[in-house]
Amino acid sequence: MKEEFKLDNQLCFRLYTASRLMTQAYHPLLSEHGLTYPQYLVLLVLWEADAQPVNDIARKLYLETNTVTPLLQRMEKEGILTRQRGEKDARQMIVSLTKKGRDLQKKLADVPFKVGGAVLCDSVTPETAPTLYKMLNDIISKLKNE
């Protein structure tokens, strides 16, 4: 068998596996608050800047709005956020955190440190992490534009 066809030589497999295992690392920390990993990502976006259009949230998460909308609807039913028509443009849906959504930021404050500590190893250290982020951002950017 040619080397380029071996599973262990596939970058896509490494990225897929790392992504899946990273999501698993978040699961126990988020599930105790009734959250899924995608919901946590939405919260991260809204904690940075509240009251954002659905389109902006979807763009920041590299997702389509039709993928994000059902997620936001579930979060609204759980009282984490609200969705309201834009004042200037009624076609635009603005997503805002509720008190419950803002309070979750305090409750989940240790999550990045717990997960970050779990992935530190010989090759990923606080010093090397920025280089890894840059490499991953370069891959994302390249794939997004193609």
Task: Please tell me the distance from the alpha carbon of residue 77 to that of residue 82, in angstroms, as a whole number.
Answer: 9
Does pLDDT of 6 surpass 90? yes
Task: Please tell me the distance from the alpha carbon of residue 83 to that of residue 71, in angstroms, as a whole number.
Answer: 12
Is 58 among the domain residues?
Answer: yes
Task: Please tell me the distance from the alpha carbon of residue 101 to that of residue 44, in angstroms, as a whole number.
Answer: 10
Is 9 among the domain residues?
Answer: no
Reported as a pLDDT band with limits 50, 70 and 90, residue 136 is very high
91: domain CATH number?
Answer: 1.10.10.10
Please report where in the chains the tokens 């004042």 appear, as a residue. 87
Task: Please tell me the distance from the alpha carbon of residue 106 to that of residue 53, in angstroms, as a whole number.
Answer: 24
Is 75 among the domain residues?
Answer: yes
Number of domains the chain is built from: 1
Is 111 among the domain residues?
Answer: no
Query: Which structural domain, as residue segments, surrounds residue 72?
Result: 37-104
Phi-psi region of 51 (alpha: psi -120 to 50; beta: other; left: phi over 0): left
Please report where in the chains the tokens 């500590």 appear, as a residue. 117
Token pair for residue 84? 């309201």
Q: How many residues does the chain have?
A: 146
Does pLDDT of 89 surpass 80? no
Token pair for residue 25? 């690392």
Is 98 among the domain residues?
Answer: yes
What phi, psi does 136 have (nearest 5°)?
-65, -40
The pLDDT of residue 141 = 94
Token pair for residue 83? 């969705």
The pLDDT of residue 90 = 75
Is 87 among the domain residues?
Answer: yes
Is 94 among the domain residues?
Answer: yes
Task: Please tell me the distance from the alpha carbon of residue 140 to that of residue 126, in angstroms, as a whole number.
Answer: 21
Is 52 among the domain residues?
Answer: yes
Q: Do residues 55 and 91 touch, judged by C-beta distance below 8 A?
A: no
pLDDT tens sequence across 56-87: 999 999 999 999 999 999 999 999 999 999 78
